[in-house]
Chain A
Amino acid sequence: MSGPSTYQPQNAVLKWFEARLPIIGLVHSSFVAYPTPKNLNYWWTFGGILSMMLAVQIITGIVLVMHYTPHVDMAFNSVEHIMRDVNYGWLLRYLHSNGASMFFIAVYIHMFRGLYYGSYKEPREVLWILGVIIYLLMMATGFLGYTLPWGQMSFWGATVITNFFSAIPGVGETLVTWLWGGFAVGNPTLQRFFSLHYLLPFVIAGVVVLHVWALHVVGQNNPTGVEPKSSQDSVAFTPYATVKDGFMMVCFLLFFAWFVFYVPNYLGHADNYIPANPGVTPAHIVPEWYYLPFYAILRSIPSKLGGVIAMFGSIVLLAFLPWLDTSRVKSATYRPLYKQFFWVFVLVCLGLGWLGSKPAEGGYVIAARVLTAYYFIHFLIILPLLGLIETPKPLPNSISEAVLKKTKVAAAMLLAAGIGAMTLLASGTQASAAEGAPQPPRNKWSFAGAFGKFDQAQLQRGFKVYKEVCQTCHGLNLVSFRNLADPGGPGFSAAQAAAIAAEYKVQDGPNDAGDMFERDGRPSDRFPPPSTWKNEQQARALYNGTVPPDMSVLAKARGFERGFPWFLIDALPGFAYQEHGVDYVVALLKGYKDKAPSGVTIAAGGNYNEYFPGHSIAMPPPLTDGRVEYTDGTPNTLDQQAKDVAAFMMWTAEPHMMQRKRIGFQVMIFLLIFAGLMYFTKKKVWRDVHAH
């Protein structure tokens, strides 16, 4: 905590305080006067960005907890309550879920910066190890948080990850039972995961304090790897590093805001919009994208215990990096051989990530094994050897000398890394591939794109289709009648919504005699359950062993994979494609054929559908041309009815989409202006340093 603090308070009150708790002097010496190498490039701004993201996650998390219920029967619905009813709840939820991904993007850039410039070498070994500890805590926190919405992926991810510990010989099973608090993942598990998810970020904050302390004792590394030799080599942290960090934070917020407002479910998984079902495992369980490389390593070792050891080992190995890399030269700028191996390593990590999203079959398994082997070889063989055999380029005498001859990282490398990174990000997003089913065709939707809008007439027609066809068997239990009059929706008036509510019968009671009774619906009521079945067992008896799913979030709970490079392009401004769910629904509704094609047998009670995974669906074709009469003159073809009900389902799944896109536009414009101002401010502040 040394620092060239020149802080002497003038004010008498501050002098009194400073003599008792010199906190202002501490902040001054650590973040104002603190000498920072003057040649740091933008890769050094990610420490500040990470601090900002930790604050964002903690603040949004604390606020979300005010509305979340950590009980298996209520967790999923409480998250939907946040999305629908809490003021700006949808924004807080998307900030937190996308914020977690942003946090990991920043930490990976931060770590790869360390690998490239040798920031883990003497005297920064403890700094690096503290970083590895923070990374492990982040992974634990992310896993615990992902279980909380209690969707299908939450539940099954929890089951898989906790089952890791059963690999430990002897105590494994006992350990897993202890973690679960029961015989399987259940309510005790969810509640303790909630407690720990709230706890760990504050543990992370504590370790971050140690991390920054350790940094300030030894000082920052810099792109040359040559330590500052004189005051010529450094500038004061404020305003130089502060304004540069600030500028990059705003740029990062722009990137963050794009995801939150325009593609908020891109990095997530459609299956997590299906409430957890302990009786059905999803076809392809994948963790969130930031765990994919380690998931690939785990699956590539044929032994259960071996896989778990390899996976944890691949992270713990990082802590030994300062001793594995034998080179005295820090920065890859002056290590031509290491530089090449570094980029190969980056590609291997991205490759492992992509493979983690693929099913563990055939060629994917072989590729994963090769890359896993290379991962360990990089750390255990290549790095130790390189230091001994490599001839580094001559180092500059000082930072000041190096600044006079700058080099730039090849743009092509960055672009390739960028595409690779996006591949990794997008890998986790792939909804389970429909076995053998073709890709649903893409439809034009009025609400698609950054400036898309719901077509109110279409939503009203879709609602009519739901009422007259789907409602018999499918519930809509997250939607309230009053939502029909909400802005951004079908545009019914409050009186019309009340009249629609009164058409329904809702159970209430008990009355004074102790009996349950039925009354007319009110605007504040939710849509009642379908009258044809009272519980899941009855549904299974009636519908060939299946339960008709509730339709409230079905449009977000369905999707399909798009191949390379389309799934990257789907995230980009101008090309954003978020309508996988509704395109699937339309294709399904139109995909029935009277006869299954030759070679395909459909079990009794099933109907052949071209787009349904497995091709045999219990629901008979619900729509035909002319099934529902339209009052606004639109032709009621099967295609039109399918599109209308799908659009209605998109609204029930994302009722605040219009507000989200509108606020998103304002935020993007604001951030662009702010980024521009920060850029010019940064240039102004740095002008005399750049001019030297």
Chain B
Amino acid sequence: MTSISSAEPTRRDFLYIATGAVGAVGAAAVAWPLINQMNPDASTIAAGAPIEVDLAPITQGQVIKVFWRSKPIFIGHRSKKEIDEARNVNVSSLKDPQTDQARVKAGHDQWLVLIGICTHLGCIPLAHQGQYDGFFCPCHGSVYDTSGRIRQGPAPTNLPVPPYEFLSDTKIRIG
């Protein structure tokens, strides 16, 4: 096959470029479903819909665990002492500065709703443990306070707060 070397692309080159481009588009179009099928499927997403939790049975001092989107959610009914301890803190001295008020809903300060996954490497911390009587993660020793904020140990950030709202004084919807 003789090769024509010229400065401008010839008609033949255009055909080859067009075919190649269309082929590349086809390859991308084929790749997308193969990649997207690994994303969460419709039933998994549907199972992650918001859940409602009744707060009435939770006594003061109790911390319960429910699951939402396969993650453990801590719901704690704090005593006045625990709320005061959470607020009597120099916020700027915290590793991940956040006020307690920013982590609860106004008027419902006794209710603490957190995602119960240690922000270090993902273990589930234990409630009412550690020197702040908050949470303690047994895997690598992270210590959280009664607002779920990191105080000591290798975890970089506070226990996250999931999206939730109060439907009434005794019922919340998480998600």
Interface 1/0s, chain B 1-17, versus A by CB < 8 A? Answer: 11000000000100110
Q: How far is the CA of A66 from the CA of B39 in the complex (A)?
A: 11
Query: Knowing A66-B37, A673-B22, A688-B1 touch, does A523 contact B15 (C-beta < 8 A)?
Result: no
Residues A85 and B37 in contact, CB atoms below 8 Å apart: no
Tell me, yes or no, whether B106 is within 8 Å of chain A by CB.
no
In chain A, positions 673-692 with a C-beta closer than 8 Å to chain B are: 673-674, 677-678, 680-681, 684-685, 688
Residues B26 and A670 in contact, CB atoms below 8 Å apart: yes
Residues B42 and A84 in contact, CB atoms below 8 Å apart: yes
Q: How far is the CA of A239 from the CA of B19 in the complex (A)?
A: 14
Tell me, yes or no, whether A81 is within 8 Å of chain B by CB.
yes
**Which chain A residue lies CB-closest to B47?**
A524
**Which chain B residue lies CB-closest to A680?**
B15
Tell me, yes or no, whether B38 is within 8 Å of chain A by CB.
yes
> For B16, what are the chain A residues with a Cβ–Cβ distance below 8 Å?
681, 684
> For A67, what are the chain B residues with a Cβ–Cβ distance below 8 Å?
37, 41
Distance to closest chain A CB from B52 (angstroms)? 10
Residues B26 and A480 in contact, CB atoms below 8 Å apart: no
Query: Knowing A81-B43, A522-B49, A680-B15 touch, does A88 contact B37 (C-beta < 8 A)?
Result: yes
> For A475, what are the chain B residues with a Cβ–Cβ distance below 8 Å?
none
Distance to closest chain B CB from A94 (angstroms)? 12
> For B42, what are the chain A residues with a Cβ–Cβ distance below 8 Å?
84-87, 482
The one of A84, A88, A677, A678 that contacts B36, using a Cβ cutoff of 8 Å:
A88
Residues B33 and A87 in contact, CB atoms below 8 Å apart: yes
Query: Knowing A86-B37, A674-B26 touch, does A524 contact B15 (C-beta < 8 A)?
Result: no
Distance to closest chain A CB from B88 (angstroms)? 36
Q: How far is the CA of A524 from the CA of B33 in the complex (A)?
A: 24
> For A91, what are the chain B residues with a Cβ–Cβ distance below 8 Å?
33
Tell me, yes or no, whether A307 is within 8 Å of chain B by CB.
no
Residues A59 and B43 in contact, CB atoms below 8 Å apart: no
Residues B1 and A523 in contact, CB atoms below 8 Å apart: no
Q: How far is the CA of A91 from the CA of B29 in the complex (A)?
A: 13
**Which chain B residue lies CB-closest to A483?**
B42
Distance to closest chain B CB from A550 (angstroms)? 18
Tell me, yes or no, whether A63 is within 8 Å of chain B by CB.
yes
Q: How far is the CA of A673 from the CA of B12 in the complex (A)?
A: 17
Q: How far is the CA of A63 from the CA of B36 in the complex (A)?
A: 11
Q: How far is the CA of A484 from the CA of B110 in the complex (A)?
A: 40
Query: Knowing A87-B39, A681-B16 touch, does A688 contact B2 (C-beta < 8 A)?
Result: yes
Residues A85 and B43 in contact, CB atoms below 8 Å apart: yes
Tell me, yes or no, whether B18 is within 8 Å of chain A by CB.
yes
Total contacting residues, chain B, CB less than 8 A: 25
Tell me, yes or no, whether B56 is within 8 Å of chain A by CB.
no
Residues B22 and A89 in contact, CB atoms below 8 Å apart: no
**Which chain A residue lies CB-closest to B39?**
A87
- In this complex, the member of B1, B12, B29, B38 whose beta carbon has the largest number of chain A beta carbons within 10 angstroms is B1
Tell me, yes or no, whether A92 is within 8 Å of chain B by CB.
yes
Query: Knowing A67-B41, A87-B33, A89-B37 touch, does A677 contact B26 (C-beta < 8 A)?
Result: no
Q: How far is the CA of A509 from the CA of B44 in the complex (A)?
A: 20
Query: Knowing A677-B19, A684-B15 touch, does A670 contact B29 (C-beta < 8 A)?
Result: yes
> For A523, what are the chain B residues with a Cβ–Cβ distance below 8 Å?
46, 49
Q: How far is the CA of A155 from the CA of B25 in the complex (A)?
A: 41
> For B1, what are the chain A residues with a Cβ–Cβ distance below 8 Å?
239, 685, 688
Interface 1/0s, chain A 502-516, versus B by CB < 8 A? Answer: 000000000000000
Q: How far is the CA of A279 from the CA of B38 in the complex (A)?
A: 37
In chain B, positions 39-78 with a C-beta closer than 8 Å to chain A are: 39, 41-44, 46-47, 49
Total contacting residues, chain A, CB less than 8 A: 29
The one of A524, A674, A677, A678 that contacts B46, using a Cβ cutoff of 8 Å:
A524
What is the interface of chain B mostly: helix, strand, loop, or mixed? Answer: helix
Q: How far is the CA of A685 from the CA of B29 in the complex (A)?
A: 27
Distance to closest chain A CB from B43 (angstroms)? 4
Tell me, yes or no, whether B23 is within 8 Å of chain A by CB.
yes
Query: Knowing A674-B23, A677-B19 touch, does A480 contact B33 (C-beta < 8 A)?
Result: no
Q: How far is the CA of A81 from the CA of B42 in the complex (A)?
A: 9
Residues A480 and B43 in contact, CB atoms below 8 Å apart: yes
Distance to closest chain A CB from B84 (angstroms)? 32
Q: How far is the CA of A522 from the CA of B175 in the complex (A)?
A: 15
Residues B37 and A87 in contact, CB atoms below 8 Å apart: yes
> For A92, what are the chain B residues with a Cβ–Cβ distance below 8 Å?
33-34, 37
Q: How far is the CA of A81 from the CA of B47 in the complex (A)?
A: 14
**Which chain B residue lies CB-closest to A525?**
B46
**Which chain B residue lies CB-closest to A236?**
B1
> For B29, what are the chain A residues with a Cβ–Cβ distance below 8 Å?
670
Q: How far is the CA of A155 from the CA of B18 in the complex (A)?
A: 49
> For A84, what are the chain B residues with a Cβ–Cβ distance below 8 Å?
42-43
In chain A, positions 31-83 with a C-beta closer than 8 Å to chain B are: 59, 63, 66-67, 81
> For B2, what are the chain A residues with a Cβ–Cβ distance below 8 Å?
688
Q: How far is the CA of A522 from the CA of B12 in the complex (A)?
A: 61
Query: Knowing A85-B42, A86-B41, A89-B41 touch, does A524 contact B49 (C-beta < 8 A)?
Result: yes
Residues A66 and B33 in contact, CB atoms below 8 Å apart: no
> For B36, what are the chain A residues with a Cβ–Cβ distance below 8 Å?
87-88
In chain A, positions 633-692 with a C-beta closer than 8 Å to chain B are: 670, 673-674, 677-678, 680-681, 684-685, 688
Distance to closest chain B CB from A563 (angstroms)? 38
Q: How far is the CA of A680 from the CA of B11 in the complex (A)?
A: 12
> For B49, what are the chain A residues with a Cβ–Cβ distance below 8 Å?
522-524
Q: How far is the CA of A271 from the CA of B26 in the complex (A)?
A: 35
Q: How far is the CA of A482 from the CA of B12 in the complex (A)?
A: 53
Q: How far is the CA of A680 from the CA of B19 in the complex (A)?
A: 9
- In this complex, the member of A63, A86, A239, A670 whose beta carbon has the largest number of chain B beta carbons within 10 angstroms is A86
- In this complex, the member of A480, A524, A684 whose beta carbon has the largest number of chain B beta carbons within 10 angstroms is A524
Residues A66 and B43 in contact, CB atoms below 8 Å apart: no
Query: Knowing A66-B37, A674-B26 touch, does A681 contact B46 (C-beta < 8 A)?
Result: no
Q: How far is the CA of A63 from the CA of B41 in the complex (A)?
A: 13
> For B44, what are the chain A residues with a Cβ–Cβ distance below 8 Å?
85
The one of A88, A89, A684 that contacts B12, using a Cβ cutoff of 8 Å:
A684
> For A677, what are the chain B residues with a Cβ–Cβ distance below 8 Å?
15, 18-19, 22
Q: How far is the CA of A63 from the CA of B32 in the complex (A)?
A: 13
The one of A59, A522, A680 that contacts B34, using a Cβ cutoff of 8 Å:
A59
Residue numbers of A with Cβ under 8 A of B are 59, 63, 66-67, 81, 84-89, 91-92, 239, 480, 482, 522-524, 670, 673-674, 677-678, 680-681, 684-685, 688
> Would you list the 6 A-B pairs with minimal beta carbon distance, nearest first?
A88-B33, A524-B46, A85-B43, A85-B42, A85-B41, A677-B19
Residue numbers of B with Cβ under 8 A of A are 1-2, 12, 15-16, 18-19, 22-23, 25-26, 29, 33-34, 36-39, 41-44, 46-47, 49
Given contacts A523-B46, A524-B46, A674-B19, 13 further A-B contacts (CB under 8 A): A59-B34, A63-B37, A67-B37, A67-B41, A85-B44, A87-B36, A87-B41, A87-B42, A91-B33, A92-B34, A674-B26, A677-B18, A681-B19
Could you write out 11 A-B pairs with CB less than 8 Å apart? Answer: A81-B41, A85-B41, A85-B42, A87-B33, A92-B34, A482-B42, A482-B46, A524-B46, A524-B49, A673-B22, A674-B26
